[in-house]
Amino acid sequence: MNKVAFIFRTPPHGSASGREGLDAVLATSALSEDIGVFFIDDGVYQLLSEQDPVPVLGRHYAPTFGLLELYDVDNVYISAEALAERGVSAERLVIEAAVLSQPELQRRLADYKVRLSF
């Protein structure tokens, strides 16, 4: 199977994109060990620990990203620039991951032949 990158670039609420992306990562992890997960742009909001989606009738699924480690998804990367632009520190995120500069993130992403964006 090809190396697959999952790119989260949208905020967590307002569409089902983030939840669907997380489901796709977990399902694909049963078939492949060559998975990378990238959080860029507004996708970094997917990982915020203090979300309150109740007013928009949503579910706080961010803690479910903690399953990535359990599913042996070890290649998880977060854009340092996206965090800085949004005033978000890595300590506010529900998982620990490699925080990379844009050039390094692009180098890592170039290793993946298949890229799915959510």
Q: What is the pLDDT of residues 6-54, one digit of tens each?
A: 999 999 887 889 999 999 999 999 998 899 999 999 999 999 887 776 5
- Strands in 9-62 per DSSP E: 35-39
Of all residues in the chain, the percent with pLDDT exceeding 90 is 76
**Contact criterion met (CB below 8 Å) for 76 and 68:** yes
Task: Identify the structural domains of the chain with CATH numbers, from first to last.
Answer: 4-117 (3.40.1260.10)
